[in-house]
Amino acid sequence: MIDIRDINYTPHIDEISDYISNPFFHPFCTFLEDAYKPMCKIEYSKDVLARGWNIKFRKSGKSLCVVYPQDGYFTVLVVVGRKEKEDVELLLPQLSAEMQNIYRQTKEGNGQRWLMIDIKNNPSVYQDTLTLIGIRRDSK
């Protein structure tokens, strides 16, 4: 098993998947690859709150999301900026109660909300996360 905080060893995506050991992770990556053909980059973060290896998904110079591996689950950072806000807020009543809570509890700063979404075992939160990434991708 890898040490997700070991800056001296860059893990492969398969090792990260094994570390996460969550049934949603592989379908998540496959969906992003098939739907958006993003650039996927494994990077080390020295951020105190999220120290360790993460996976950044970018398309056309824009961040789609960042995945922070956890033991047994993964956290997805999706930024809802000015361009996405109206679409997300119109859709919000149709999203799961958990996603609505995440959105409402995330403070807005500089016109953005940085949603940290834990993907554990809730299929609704998983689908909602893919929907938010789609809105982010489609915003101009």
Where in the chain are the domains? 13-138
CATH 3.90.1150 applies to domain 13-138: yes
What is the per-residue pLDDT across 68-92, written as a single tens digit (0 to 9) for each? 999 999 999 999 999 999 999 999 9
Mean pLDDT of 59-64: 92
Q: Provide, rounded to the nearest whole percent, the portion of the chain with pLDDT above 90.
A: 93
Task: Give the pLDDT band of residue 140 (cuts 50, 70, 90).
Answer: low
pLDDT at site 49: 77
User: Contacts by 81-86 with C-beta closer than 8 Å and gap 24+?
Assistant: 81/111, 81/112, 81/139, 82/111, 82/112, 83/139, 83/140, 84/132, 84/135, 84/136, 84/139, 85/111, 85/113
Within 13 A of 64's CA, how many CA atoms are on the CB side? 26
